[in-house]
Amino acid sequence: MTHILAIDQGTTSSRAILFDADLRVVASAQEEFPQHYPQPGWVEHDPSDLWSTVAATARAAMERAGVRAERIAAIGITNQRETTLIWDRASGQPIHPAIVWQDRRTAGLCTALKDAGHEPMITERTGLLLDPYFSATKVKWLLDHVEGARARAEAGELAFGTVDTWLIWNLTGGRVHATDATNAARTMLYNIATGTWDAEICALMDVPMALLPEVKDCAADFGTTRADLFGREIPICGVAGDQQAATVGQACFAPGMMKSTYGTGCFALLNTGSDRVPSTNRLLTTIAYQLDGKPTYALEGSIFIAGAVVQWLRDGLKIIRHASETQGLAEAAEAAQGVILVPAFTGLGAPYWRPDCRGAVYGLTRNSGPAELARAALESVGYQTRDLLEAMRADWGAAADGVLRVDGGMSASDWAMQFLSDILGAPVDRPKVTETTALGAAYLAGLQAGVCPAPEEFAKSWALDRRFEPAMDADERQAKYARWGRAIQATMAV
pLDDT of residue 472: 94
pLDDT of residue 439: 94
Q: Does the pTM of the predicted model rise above 0.75?
A: yes
Please give the Cα distance from 437 to 453 (Å, whole number).
18
Could you count the other beta carbons within 10 Å of the beta carbon of residue 36? 14
Instruction: Verify cis geometry, omega within 30 degrees of 0, for the bond prior to 34.
Output: no
Q: What is the pLDDT of residues 273-293, one digit of tens each?
A: 998 999 888 899 999 999 999
Q: CB-based burial of residue 293 (10 Å sphere; 0-12 exposed, 13-18 middle, 19+ buried)?
A: exposed
Q: What is the pLDDT of residues 130-161, one digit of tens each?
A: 989 899 999 999 999 999 999 999 999 999 99
Q: What is the pLDDT of residues 406-417, one digit of tens each?
A: 998 888 889 999
**More reliable by pLDDT, 213 or 316:** 213
Mean local confidence (pLDDT), 292-296: 95
Mean local confidence (pLDDT), 80-85: 95
Mean local confidence (pLDDT), 59-83: 94
Strands (E), 125-256: 158-161, 178-180, 190-191, 196-197, 214-216, 236-241
- Degrees, nearest 5: CA angle 396-400-406: 130
Residue 34 reports pLDDT greater than 70: yes
pLDDT of residue 401: 54
Could you count the other beta carbons within 10 Å of the beta carbon of residue 22? 9
Please give the Cα distance from 311 to 298 (Å, whole number).
29
Could you count the other beta carbons within 10 Å of the beta carbon of residue 72? 26
pLDDT of residue 189: 97
Residue 92 reports pLDDT greater than 60: yes
Give the end-to-end CA distance of the chain in Å, rounded to a whole number: 58
Q: What is the mean pLDDT of the chain?
A: 92
pLDDT of residue 399: 52
Q: Do the bridges between strand 284-291 and strand 294-303 make them parallel or antiparallel, or are there none, so unpaired?
A: antiparallel
Mean local confidence (pLDDT), 263-280: 89
Q: What is the pLDDT of residues 354-393, one digit of tens each?
A: 878 899 999 999 989 989 999 999 999 999 999 998 888 8
Mean local confidence (pLDDT), 20-37: 92
Asked if residue 92 lies in contact with residue 169, where contact means CB atoms within 8 angstroms, the answer is: yes
Asked if residue 445 lies in contact with residue 407, where contact means CB atoms within 8 angstroms, the answer is: no
Residue 3 reports pLDDT greater than 90: yes
pLDDT of residue 398: 57
Torsion angle, CA of 317/321/327/332, rounded to 10 degrees?
-70
pLDDT of residue 409: 82
Residues in the chain: 494
pLDDT of residue 4: 96
Chain centre to alpha carbon of residue 407: 12
Mean local confidence (pLDDT), 79-88: 96
Asked if residue 201 lies in contact with residue 124, where contact means CB atoms within 8 angstroms, the answer is: no
